[in-house]
Structure 1
Amino acid sequence: MKQPHGMLFVATNIGADDEADFNQWYDHEHVEERVAISGFLSGTRYQAINAERKYLGLYETESLEAFTSVDYHAAFTRQTEWSVKNLQKMVNPMRRVSAVTHTHGKGTGSQLAVVTLAQAADSAALSAWQQQIGQTPGYISSSLLTPDADLSTPLPMEGKENRQMLPMLLISCSDAPCCDRLSSVAAELLTGEVQRYALSWTLTRQEVTHG
């Protein structure tokens, strides 16, 4: 049976005085460092439209095994001073390593909804909903993230107590009204809360490898 892709989900706020340096670090060092790790496929940054945390990074991997590899762990032994400084300045960060299932559609739109579910998704209901919306104008793709508690170790400034490992439905669209409508229906159908983001930029493994 084919292993599901993995996804590293990192959301955080940052103080106003640190924001410019934080974005420089993320855009010119951190994303490329992570995508260069064996087994990583892409790194994508988003900025909040309406969400608890302003910045979101999604890193897709070939499988969850990428997060237990020698290369991944080695990355933490050679972090730059710039990385250490910015990780320590994150405000209320959230890190989750998840299996990616129920992938539907293809591509990445400019608009993203993250629907955090109160409990495990009803697989049949989710699949039926995805099939129903497949031809909706503005809809691009969707997938379900199911966090792995062992792999989702907290970031340095992340609270260690009561860390909930709730599933998250990602809905990618090409326009905001579509994303708002679909996420609202999904939240009602599957019992969840919506947070909305806009795409900032993305980097693929191919771009890192071939320049």
Structure 2
Amino acid sequence: MALSGTAAVVIWNDVTPEARADFLAWHNREHIPERVSVAGFRRGRRGRAVSGGPEFFTLYEVDGPAFFGGDYRARLDDPTPWTRRVMPQFRNASRALCRVEFSLGAGIGGYLATAALPDLPAPGMALSGAVEGAAEVLFAEAPGLVGLHLLRCDAAGSREKTAEHGLRREASGLPAGFLLVEGTDANPLADIVAGFAGMMAARTGARFEAERIAIYRHELCLGAGEMLPPLNGASTPAPRSPAEAAG
């Protein structure tokens, strides 16, 4: 479906083999529920790589960039004990705060391709028209395509130092943006990414390349305020209050 909100947080990471089980338990039962309990965070999803990498991709859909401050920033500066144990086991991690430049689709695909975009034309009507036109062509030609989303990185916001940032082994440097393509089948997604990049280059006359393409199988999706039952001995965050959920 079209992304819920006008902002997103995207995260890629590997994890050390000895910490994989702990990572998955933490991510399922504490971390994603904690994030989607933050005001403005509508949905959190995780995928596992079937092609390319890093192994895990996480997407948070957010009402808007204003919600990157406040409660979310407070959580970043006060990691839970479980987070402090797991995050140092991350490898090849990267994280970006993004604005949603364009999003079209319906439903959630079983597979999702991610691609880095080193350059993006300046936002405006010309870019919006080119993206919409290219997306419509792809949806008409690819029956398995269910979502296409273009994100523009907020480089300054993404690089702000927080307590959590200090726990991760995070790769340096961010591209201008990212392309996310969702589908019911993994096989055509790389070709759809390439087709979109080619059409955008032709329609905008600007350099438009897709790099570091990886394909992920969706594993988990939680909406705002949702959480799984707690594990024995694990503390999980309290859900948002009704007033916060309404906001």
- Please confirm whether the aligned pair reaches a TM-score higher than 0.5, indicating the same fold: yes
- Superimposed CA distance per residue, residues 167-209 of structure 1 (whole angstroms, 9 cap, x where no aligned partner): 1111111112232331232244432122211111100116456
Report the counterpart of residue 27 of structure 1 in structure 2: 28
Q: 1:134 aligns with which of 122, 125, 139?
A: 139
| Counterpart position of 2:217 | 198
Structure 1, residues 49-91: CA drift from partner, whole Å, max 9, x if none?
Answer: 122310111001000111012x112223442211011111111
Instruction: Say if 1:113 and 1:81 are closer, same or farther in 2 by CA, change over 3 A.
Output: same
Find the structure with the greater CA-based Rg: 2
Give the structure 2 partner of residue 61 of structure 1: 62
Residue in structure 1 matched with residue 233 of structure 2 by the alignment: none
The question of 1:151 aligning with 2:170 is answered: no
1:97 corresponding residue in structure 2? 97
| 2:158 alignment partner, SS class | coil
Q: Does 1:176 align with 2:182?
A: no
Structure 2 Cα separation of the partners of residues 80 and 119 of structure 1: 36
Aligned length, in residue pairs: 205
Contact 1:93-1:158 within 8 A present in 2 as well: yes
The superposition leaves residues 84-108 of structure 1 with CA deviations (integer Å, 9 ceiling, x where unpaired) of 1111111121010000121112221
Instruction: Report the identity percentage.
Output: 24
Instruction: Assess if the C-alpha contact under 8 Å between 1:148 and 1:165 holds in 2.
Output: no
- Indicate the SS of the match to 1:176: coil
8 A Cα contact 1:144 1:170, kept in partner: yes
CA distance in 2, matches of 1:170, 1:160: 20
Quick check: 11-20 or 102-111, which moved more? 102-111
Seen in structure 2, the aligned counterparts of structure 1 residues 39 and 128 have a Cα distance that, compared at 3 Å, is same
- 1:128-148 CA deviation, whole Å, 9 max, x = no partner? 210112233111011111110
When the two structures are superposed, what TM-score results if normalisation uses the length of structure 1? 0.88
The alpha-carbon distance between structure 1 residues 37 and 206, as it changes in their structure 2 partners (threshold 3 A), is closer
Give the superposition deviation at 1:160.
6.8
Is residue 2:82 matched to residue 1:82? yes
> What is the root-mean-square deviation of aligned Cα atoms in Å?
2.1
Secondary structure of the equivalent of 1:151?
helix
CA distance in 1 between counterparts of 2:55 and 2:114 reads 13
User: Aligned AA for 1:192?
Assistant: A
TM-score (norm 2): 0.76
Runs of 4+ in 1 over 6 A off after TM superposition: none
How many angstroms apart in 2 are the aligned matches of 1:68 and 1:10?
18
Q: Contact 1:115 / 1:187 at 8 angstroms: preserved in 2?
A: no
1:130 corresponds to which letter in structure 2? A
